[in-house]
Structure 1
């Protein structure tokens, strides 16, 4: 770990020293200050996300001489958690882009991944164009939104159409990637499609939490892809390579929940300071002097700190897996990261909703108004936690301990 992440504080705060060093303090503070208002008014955070792009959040992992900040994977999670503490919707909206950057950094010699890094260096973000084929089928894998790219000789471009539901972040993204069959040779290809004519996004996501992630339906109608942005498919992995390629997704979401837990602790202190009167059967005239409320705030703080520590453990394991990429230690390090991610999810998905509930206990009737939108913390936690349910993580962890059963390798575990 570099010096940038060694500075710690005994007192929880919204912005880490690392984010401050990288120049993100003001925008994170501003995002936090307006989060409740956005929630109440259902105002999509286009402006806030644009500011983070301009500061290079989407390019944090690129080397400084390639348009980025050169941070480690572990440091990326530090900054992402700060943003999640400010507004978990915004942090969540970047997940698919950041995962693609990670994949591209490992395979940058391939022209498809080189294009992803080129767009990222331009401070653009890239969404996914995959969709699950049949949610009713056990083990269903993602298929293609643009199932075919038809060659249009009159314009020297490929043309395709398709829809992607649950297109998290695509409302804010500048380009999209996917896999399709191209018509001329009938081969499977990868493509990069930049936003333009024929691309639209509907804000039709109906979740009770994470309402501003842009997780509605992305539509692609007769979009054109120049042949220069159609690439060969990635070669298959060798038998020795680690098969768990999607642990980043889970650690990132769990990291977002850890950010919400931190925000609950900070909001708890604010709630207690703002309460104007105590219950008549309390022991102090003012809530800020009430011992039982001090104790509850302390419990919230301690549990939130524990959640962050467990998330850090998973992020550290993922960093070790990254460091082992391409070495003989890759398999074991990647397996360990997948198991650590599962352990973190099981514990955090249990603890974090309880922490958010204690916030309501702390404020009592003075915090249930929709104006403060404090209920968003519980709702957002539960919606993020619904990704890849912990019940299956629990089962796998037990099976692995008993018999050495290995985790599934698909993106939806």
Structure 2
């Protein structure tokens, strides 16, 4: 039996225009309260519930299991639309969407149980990173055989989305043989503590913080060897952040354009007309709009490369799969570098279209830059730029999996 016969085959794709029309009113509803939530640090529990109920969290889940069966290109197009409504929510769901993708490329017998859950609206959070004295290449969190299943002990930080989730997707090692594994645990059980203690100046509402495991129960179906994780995962994780960057820029343009259109005051040393007719002000908005559109285009182009990696993951041609994964990794890095540069410029330069009143905290215009800056600091792009250059000059394959930790001087 071939891999194609045991995996989930791409079905007929849904109509993107119909999906956009379906979710647009919900995105607008989410957008309406985004500034207030950010000012008052209101975690978007209700808004994520809306997305679950509307089927957005099951976009990539096959239709047979209750999802929409969207392609990655369609998915990231819609994810940018959601990011333009609230960047926090997109990053909060990053771990969930990655786990959906992983179960899509798993053998059917292993993936189906999870896809059925996701099709019903259940979601997962991410708990992979460890901080403190953990050494580079080391993982402290352990999975230990216990009875009919396993127990998990350890502490994670940057646990994006876990506080909203039904399941937690975490990285650990087995205590009995040291093998790296992915553990998928039910979130609302004794032995798991989830904190909203993220102190970053941006993306404050992503539910990022500390997750502690103390003898948390893990069923056998939730233990996955790390080496079977979907190969294009690093490209995928980065693409979600590229969507955040694109959405932040697009939202900033829309917000500032509306404020320019409504502005009644003018400067004597300007054009002498209201802001909406001042050619220099219009140039500022137009330039930022071009930057935001370019960031979106780069992200969607990279999503097409990820689509090809998904398709080859279901086939039996290793050479084609290797090539597709390299292309997807490079494309996501290119989009990262471009989207970060363009989004940060757009969300900063747009202040030139307004005056001192733009700094009023009630307007929340600073959140677009803060959120974009925070997203841009993930997966440091200085290393991605070097990797892109090394490939262009020397043909060196990109780094797919990396870790962070303390090193000895």
TM-score interval for Structure 1 and Structure 2 normalised by the shorter chain: 0.7 to 0.9
Q: Deviations over 1:244-270 (max 9, x none)?
A: 542101111112211111111211211
SS at match of 1:193: strand
Partners of 1:270 and 1:350 in 2: how far apart?
24
For structure 2, the residue ranges without an aligned partner over 5 or more in a row are: 1-11, 405-409
The higher-RCO structure (CA 8 Å, 6+ apart) is 2
Partners of 1:194 and 1:274 in 2: how far apart?
49
Deviation at 1:234, TM superposition (A): 5.9
Deviation at 1:37, TM superposition (A): 0.5
- TM-score normalised by the chain length of structure 2: 0.87
Aligned residue among 292, 314, 317 for 2:280: 292
Give the equivalent residue in structure 1 for 2:9: none
Aligned residue among 274, 283, 286 for 2:262: 274
Give the equivalent residue in structure 2 for 1:130: 128
Listed as ranges, the matches of 1:179-194 within 5 Å are: 190-194=182-186
Partners of 2:343 and 2:175 in 1: how far apart?
49
Aligned residue among 157, 165, 168 for 1:173: 165
1:259 aligns with 2:247: yes
Partners of 1:42 and 1:216 in 2: how far apart?
14
Deviation at 1:100, TM superposition (A): 1.0
Range with bigger deviation, 175-184 or 67-76:
175-184
Q: How many residues align?
A: 389
Deviation at 1:61, TM superposition (A): 0.8
Give the equivalent residue in structure 2 for 1:216: 209
SS at match of 1:127: strand
- TM-score normalised by the chain length of structure 1: 0.86
Give the equivalent residue in structure 1 for 2:200: 207
Q: Deviations over 1:302-339 (max 9, x none)?
A: 12111111112111111122222233421112111111
Give the equivalent residue in structure 2 for 1:65: 64
Counterpart contact for 1:4–1:18, Cα < 8 Å: yes
Listed as ranges, the matches of 1:2-401 within 5 Å are: 4-5=15-16, 18-20=19-21, 23-109=22-108, 111=110, 113-132=111-130, 140-141=136-137, 143=139, 145=141, 147-149=142-144, 151=146, 158-178=150-170, 190-195=182-187, 196-225=189-218, 227-231=219-223, 233=225, 244-325=232-313, 326=315, 327=317, 328-401=319-392
Give the equivalent residue in structure 1 for 2:407: none
Deviation at 1:162, TM superposition (A): 2.2
Q: CA RMSD in A?
A: 2.7
Give the equivalent residue in structure 1 for 2:5: none
Measured at CA, do residues 158 and 307 of structure 1 come closer, stay the same or move farther in structure 2, by a change above 3 Å?
A: closer
Measured at CA, do residues 381 and 51 of structure 1 come closer, stay the same or move farther in structure 2, by a change above 3 Å?
A: same
Partners of 1:200 and 1:397 in 2: how far apart?
39
Partners of 2:322 and 2:90 in 1: how far apart?
29
Q: Deviations over 1:160-188 (max 9, x none)?
A: 33221110111111111345566789977
Q: Deviations over 1:322-365 (max 9, x none)?
A: 22223342111211111111111112221211100122111221
Partners of 1:295 and 1:207 in 2: how far apart?
33
Give the equivalent residue in structure 2 for 1:13: none
Counterpart contact for 2:130–2:155, Cα < 8 Å: no
Deviation at 1:143, TM superposition (A): 2.9
Deviation at 1:53, TM superposition (A): 1.1
Give the equivalent residue in structure 1 for 2:6: none
SS at match of 2:343: helix
